[in-house]
Amino acid sequence: MSSTESLEPALHELDQLQAQAAQAFESATTADAVEVARIEYLGQKQGRLKAAQERLKTLEPAVKRAYGQRFNGVKQALEIAFDAARSRVERRTTAAGGIDVTLPGVAPRLGHRHPLTQTADELIDIFGRFGFAVARGPEVEDVRHNFDALNIPPVHPARDPLDNFYLSEGTMLRSQTSTIQIRVMESQPPPVRVIAMGRVYRPDTVDATHSFMFHQVEGLMVDKGVTMADLKTVLRLFARSYLGEDVQIRFRPSFFPFTEPSVEVDMLWHGGDRWVEMGGAGMVDPNVFKAVGYEPEQVTGFAFGLGIERLCMRRHGIDDIRLLYQNDVRFLDQF
């Protein structure tokens, strides 16, 4: 065999090695794929380039020089192809914000509405079917809307600084959403049929059924000929719609400055072992009508206020209000 015949096959194999390696590095789109190609072609132990280098030992002395020169050129080309592939993948990962866009996607974990939000939305739907619109108002209120217009005199215990969050310049965190009812009546003449929803604040000691911040839904209906029978009918229909046909509620005589007569509305708690207050209600006091410019001789109305947390707890069998605010995903995932 001549030197030329020995050299040509060897050089041809080097050309094939270079072409195949270039194709492998060019098609590699992830860091792992680039590393696989590097090990196959540039690996120090079993790489194909290493095997081509070992072939020098089998060549005739006359052709080793030419083969060595071509080998060095192929080695340099493979190293350049490897560096280019690695840089291309790194740039792509960086451009994607550190995420390898070629990897399979990871489905995001989707949340859902908080149980209190679910409850509020359902209350809006139920009362909406009864013809009540939704009204909202500011959480930082003035004393007039929170007390004066609601017929709560300055000497009333409800205005005690220890029972409210007073702010500067005659403002405070509202202690009931009745303030929204006042604002609605100030802005429109009768008839009125609205529910007022939102957070309220009272410095209560936190326990299983009390919190310094909670949510209320209050209803107001003002028109000619509105009676206590209308109030009781609305509340019974609501209780059956939200808590079920078998729910038991009761009305107890009570007193509120802004309603006369007034009642407490109780619901039978889990297991039927005790009654828990659901809210207060009554016929709107004439002094409240006078404060907003209504004529008490021409219209009557009822108002009620319900705690959204307690309704939610009764609906879902929750015994501690604090669970609703601890943001424990294990608890919230149940709803």
| Ranges of each domain in the chain | 3-95, 115-332
Q: Is the peptide bond before 9 cis (omega within 30 degrees of 0)?
A: no
Name the nearest CA neighbour of 211 among 315, 327, 333, 324.
324
Number of C-beta neighbours around residue 35 at 10 A: 15
Write out pLDDT tens, residues 45-83.
Answer: 778 888 888 887 887 777 788 888 888 888 888 889 888
Q: What's the half-sphere exposure (Cβ side, CA atoms, 13 Å) at 72? A: 5
- In this structure, are residues 269 and 275 in contact, taking their beta carbons and an 8 Å threshold? yes
Task: Tell me the CATH number of domain 115-332, given options 3.40.50.300, 3.30.980.20, 3.30.565.10, 3.30.930.10.
Answer: 3.30.930.10
Name the nearest CA neighbour of 82 among 27, 132, 25.
25
pLDDT the model gives residue 69: 84
pLDDT the model gives residue 81: 87
Sheet order of strands, 165-166 included = 140-142, 171-173, 165-166
- In this structure, are residues 220 and 196 in contact, taking their beta carbons and an 8 Å threshold? yes
Sheet order of strands, 133-135 included = 133-135, 192-201, 213-223, 300-307, 275-284, 259-268, 249-256
Write out pLDDT tens, residues 27-36.
Answer: 888 888 888 8
Q: For the residues of 50-106, what is the DSSP string, one character each?
A: HHHHHGGGGS-HHHHHHHHHHHHHHHHHHHHHHHHHHHHHHHHHHHTTS--TTSPP-
Is 26 annotated for ligand binding? no
- In this structure, are residues 68 and 56 in contact, taking their beta carbons and an 8 Å threshold? yes
Write out pLDDT tens, residues 267-306.
Answer: 887 667 788 888 899 999 999 999 999 999 999 999 999 9
pLDDT at 213 over 70: yes
Higher per-residue pLDDT: 244 or 4: 244
pLDDT the model gives residue 99: 64
Write out pLDDT tens, residues 191-212.
Answer: 999 999 999 999 988 888 889 9
Average pLDDT on 296-325 reads 92
Q: Is the peptide bond before 108 cis (omega within 30 degrees of 0)?
A: no
Write out pLDDT tens, residues 148-197.
Answer: 999 999 999 999 999 999 998 889 999 999 999 999 999 999 999 999 99
Write out pLDDT tens, residues 216-256.
Answer: 999 999 999 999 999 999 999 999 999 888 888 899 999 99
